[in-house]
Structure 1
């Protein structure tokens, strides 16, 4: 008997060349594109700062309430030690995740994750960063899996926040370094002008 409401018999297999998957934020496998790389690193940094700030606040409050004013910084040594150990663990987790994101990005480029070890070598890490950030990943499936799904508006917004924060940090750092040097230059010019008069 033929039921007109039954499901069709057509094949619904997805062409593996165009298959995609939805990357997960805290995963260490799969592929991620350039925008997602920025977004995930920004999100991770924001999470770490959200944990570090209360820990440092706790250290300061405990120092003010129970600390020894004669001690360095006035912090309670027990609280300071516990917070210090928590921060070490947090930074190790941060390092693992950031290297994991770089491995995932390298996999998107069709390269082995072992190249992420170049992050430990001065100047080579700069070349690797430029490669990871500016070169597009492979289209479709490669030996490391399907291509990541298209970026959502949230991923794009988080990546923009990361890029803007990085630019502000670089410009601010240059300003802080160059400002005293420029002030010194102006003073020397002023002295030279006074001597010429």
Structure 2
């Protein structure tokens, strides 16, 4: 559980290294948070539709609210996501600027491959080996 929120504690720290566990636990946290927002929106929509017999204008408002919640979640976590990805690239002895490949179609696959690879087992120019299991 600690690894899930560690990137939020290291909000904009682009120096250092992040092991695979820290990176993937944060990805799991983002997935669970997004799923929770979707479940809340779906529950509100079902209650409004079935219990309150709401019309389409209510449903449009609920949809806009759900999109706003997802947007707020995205805005709150985009900097920690970029930071933990850069630290993950550092753990693989790669430059953080490699993250710019995410802007190129298909470049995310390269970042995914580096996220799956084990980090360098010894100290590298980006810092000491990160502590972890």
TM-score by length of 1: 0.52
For residues 54 and 141 of structure 1, do their structure 2 counterparts lie closer, same or farther at Cα, with a shift above 3 Å needed? Answer: same
Q: 1:59 aligns with which of 28, 45, 64?
A: 45
Contact 1:105 1:132 in 2 (8 A): yes
Measured after TM superposition, the shift of residue 94 of structure 1 is: 4.5
Measured after TM superposition, the shift of residue 66 of structure 1 is: 5.3
Larger CA Rg, structure 1 vs 2: 1
Contact 2:19 2:132 in 1 (8 A): no
Counterpart CA distance in 1 for 2:49 and 2:125 is 54
* 1:82 correspondence with 2:72: no
Measured after TM superposition, the shift of residue 38 of structure 1 is: 2.1
Measured after TM superposition, the shift of residue 106 of structure 1 is: 0.8
Measured after TM superposition, the shift of residue 140 of structure 1 is: 4.4
Task: Name the Cα RMSD after superposition.
Answer: 2.8
Q: Which residue of 2 aligns with 1:148?
A: 130
Does the residue aligned with 1:36 lie in a helix, a strand or coil?
A: helix
Runs of 5+ consecutive residues of structure 2 not aligned to the other structure: none
Measured after TM superposition, the shift of residue 105 of structure 1 is: 0.2
How many residue pairs were aligned? 125
Structure 1 consecutive aligned stretches of length 4 or more whose deviation exceeds 4 Å: none
* 1:103 correspondence with 2:81: no
* 1:43 correspondence with 2:29: yes
Runs of 5+ consecutive residues of structure 1 not aligned to the other structure: 1-21, 152-197
For residues 36 and 132 of structure 1, do their structure 2 counterparts lie closer, same or farther at Cα, with a shift above 3 Å needed? Answer: same
TM-score by length of 2: 0.71
Counterpart CA distance in 1 for 2:128 and 2:27 is 21
Q: 1:132 aligns with which of 93, 115, 118?
A: 115
**Superimposed CA distance per residue, residues 98-128 of structure 1 (whole angstroms, 9 cap, x where no aligned partner):** 3332112012123332211212222222123
For residues 110 and 41 of structure 1, do their structure 2 counterparts lie closer, same or farther at Cα, with a shift above 3 Å needed? Answer: same
More helix by share: 2
Contact 2:18 2:88 in 1 (8 A): yes
Q: Which residue of 1 aligns with 2:19?
A: 33
Does the residue aligned with 1:76 lie in a helix, a strand or coil?
A: helix
Measured after TM superposition, the shift of residue 95 of structure 1 is: 4.2
For residues 97 and 32 of structure 1, do their structure 2 counterparts lie closer, same or farther at Cα, with a shift above 3 Å needed? Answer: same
